[in-house]
Amino acid sequence: MARLDLHLHSTCSDGRHAPAWVIRQAAAHGAELVALSDHDTLAGVEEAREAGEALGVTVVAAVEISVIHEPLGELHVLGYLPARDELDDLELKLAEYRDERLGRARRTLNLLRDLGAPIEEDAVMRHADGGVIGRPHIARALVDAGHVESVQEAFDRYLHNGGPAFVQRSVLSMEESIELIHDSGGFASLAHPTRYRETETSIESFAAAGGDAIEIYYRNDPPDVIANGERLANRLGLAATGGSDFHGIHPDEMPPATVPIPDYAAHRLIDLMKDLAS
């Protein structure tokens, strides 16, 4: 089993730890190649690269973009990207989404107030600490205010997709996100397809939309689920990616670079990532 992790979050979006900290953890678990994949930002990549260089870990620039698909709802697309100076268009588009997240957070706080769980905007901002604002920051503020016991309870009661305090952001379509990633010279992987209501349909739609890969080695998904993902990927001509989706928020998360990725998949991934860098 090779030690890769192509799905990691930091304080630059909704992770609890700084980019360098995350890379040090990955290195401590023997990682040779990782991708920092914050929501809607590449802001942490430089710090992660510097940390990686000192530790002998290759760090790939990545981003996780939320997309809307009718009728499947919200899906996430991971973009793996070449060197940063080619990414101006992508950065501009991502900046639009970051701005929009603030307005959306305010609408969420209004809903929470009406639901009897008021929290201050400042409390959310303190958790975001300059990073991309997301629902996990609101969840943490709900815990602080004593409205819920845990981040998970905040999602289960209020913030889950379609929940009473959920506000849909206006986001790209699947096709648009793939095009944006391709135009930036990157390749696109459908994040955690096993977490969607219709796993197989979402993967088929992603392939039809021009996507390149699916995230098959996700967290501790069991062997039969992984085998099924590999079969689907083969049938549709998609590559396989994998990672922990580490945020450092929930007590039961797998640490960076601890998801078992079989050697045959890892070798292909390392080749794919090296092509990006060259």
User: Which residues lie near Mn ion (CB under 5 A)?
Assistant: 14, 64, 76, 191, 245
User: Rounded CA gap, 267 and 269, in Å?
Assistant: 5
Span near ligand AMP by CB under 6 A; candidates 46-54, 114-122, 128-136, 257-265: 128-136
| Backbone region of residue 127 per phi and psi (left: phi > 0; alpha: psi in -120 to 50; beta: other values) | alpha
Q: Is 5 helix (H, G, I), strand (E, B) or coil?
A: strand
The interface partner of residue 211, options being Mn ion, ligand AMP, none and the CB cut-off 5 to 8 Å by kind, is none
Residues 6+ apart with CB under 8 A from 206: 75, 77, 174, 178, 190, 193, 214, 238
User: Rounded CA gap, 207 and 238, in Å?
Assistant: 7
Span near ligand AMP by CB under 6 A; candidates 80-88, 111-119, 134-142, 215-223: 134-142
Residue 65 is encoded by which pair of tokens? 């973009």
Nearest CB to Mn ion, comparing residues 90 and 159: 159
Please say whether the beta carbons of 148 and 154 come within 8 A: yes
| Least distance in angstroms from the C-beta of 78 to Mn ion | 8
Output the residue with the shortest Cβ distance to ligand AMP. 134
Contact with ligand AMP (CB under 6 A) among 79, 134, 186, 193: 134
User: Rounded CA gap, 49 and 60, in Å?
Assistant: 8
| Least distance in angstroms from the C-beta of 133 to ligand AMP | 7
Residues near ligand AMP (CB under 6 A), total: 10
Give the contact letters, 141-180, x = binds to ligand AMP (CB under 6 A), - = no: -----------x--x----x--------------------
Rounded (10°) CA dihedral 85, 87, 89, 93: -130
C-alpha of 16 from chain center: 14
| Least distance in angstroms from the C-beta of 63 to ligand AMP | 12
Contact with ligand AMP (CB under 6 A) among 17, 135, 147, 219: 135
- Residues in 61-100 that interact with ligand AMP by CB under 6 A: 66
Nearest CB to Mn ion, comparing residues 81 and 191: 191
What is the contact surface with ligand AMP in residues (CB under 6 A)? 14, 39, 66, 134-136, 152, 155, 160, 247
